[in-house]
A and B are shown apart, each in its own frame.
Chain A
């Protein structure tokens, strides 16, 4: 069966992939995101979070996106006129 997979790893990907029947989201992540930690990503199926044992269905849309995108700046002392 085919699902739509969206992620930004490597070259980035937003296309349909074929998976075996009964594939869980946990197995899918381990297969497609090798070496990556689940805690570093928000994993959604059809725009909703799912438990790790969720079994993927044909036509599902899986989105794996990075979390905690944050920045900081040191503000140098402003000069007053």
Chain B
């Protein structure tokens, strides 16, 4: 999924009951993304929980591994990432924030809230000792199109690789370089602007981006105060 787009993309990791750190699947929820932000749709998160329970899983198997990408080369969590991790997963017995950057570098931190509590960075690897099905790029592409809404205002390229309008094939969509330079802000313009900001200004800018999502229809989503 990381290679479909220059935007962030995220979801939840699915594990087996007997090994809660062994991720066997990745599930997208509906989300709105830019090249520097991601926000999940609340209703879709609820649907995801219910669908997983209907599939016979417990929350510890599907709701403890929050995974998302960073389009740049840094997998280090931002202030928004840390805030979300603390607010959303801070009341769970344990949870993991996992980030994979465009260059393949990863970040994974296990936080546990039982006993004295604590957190620790943990290593990440692909376990090839287990059998797994071949990647089905077409299904991945369909899942991406069905769940991810791209906000191109700040896009690095103005569109996803899969939406480029070029003749698509698996190579173009996953792992290829089917970009077009048609953005409102060219990537260097935007990145240069962010790069030149003072730290406080940059933090405010990033926070504003994080709350830009128009998913939040508070009247319909807040049940009661």
Contacts and interface: CB of A to CB of B under 8 A. Distances in A.
Interface in B167-225: 187-188, 190-192, 194-195, 202, 206-207, 209-211, 213, 216, 220-225
Interface residues of A, number: 40
Contact of A70 (B60, B91, B210, B220): B210
Nearest to A15: B58
B224 A38 contact: yes
A26 B84 contact: no
Interface in A24-76: 25-26, 36, 38-40, 42-44, 47, 49-52, 61, 63, 65-76
**Max chain A CB contacts within 10 Å: which of B10, B202, B221?**
B221
B111 to A, nearest CB: 14
B93 interface: yes
Contact of B213 (A36, A47, A50, A70): A70
Given A42-B45, A71-B80, A9 B92 contact: yes
A11 interface: yes
**Max chain A CB contacts within 10 Å: which of B36, B45, B202?**
B45
A71 B59 contact: no
Interface residues of B, number: 64
Interface in B44-58: 45-47, 49-50, 53, 57-58
19 contacts: A6-B59, A8-B49, A9-B91, A10-B91, A13-B59, A14-B57, A36-B91, A50-B223, A52-B223, A65-B45, A65-B49, A69-B88, A71-B8, A71-B37, A74-B36, A75-B70, A76-B195, A77-B195, A78-B187
Interface of B: 8, 10, 35-40, 42-43, 45-47, 49-50, 53, 57-60, 63-64, 66, 68, 70-74, 77-81, 84, 87-89, 91-93, 99, 156, 187-188, 190-192, 194-195, 202, 206-207, 209-211, 213, 216, 220-225
Given A6-B49, A66-B88, 12 more contacts: A8-B59, A11-B60, A40-B87, A42-B221, A49-B220, A51-B224, A63-B50, A65-B42, A67-B221, A70-B39, A73-B81, A78-B188
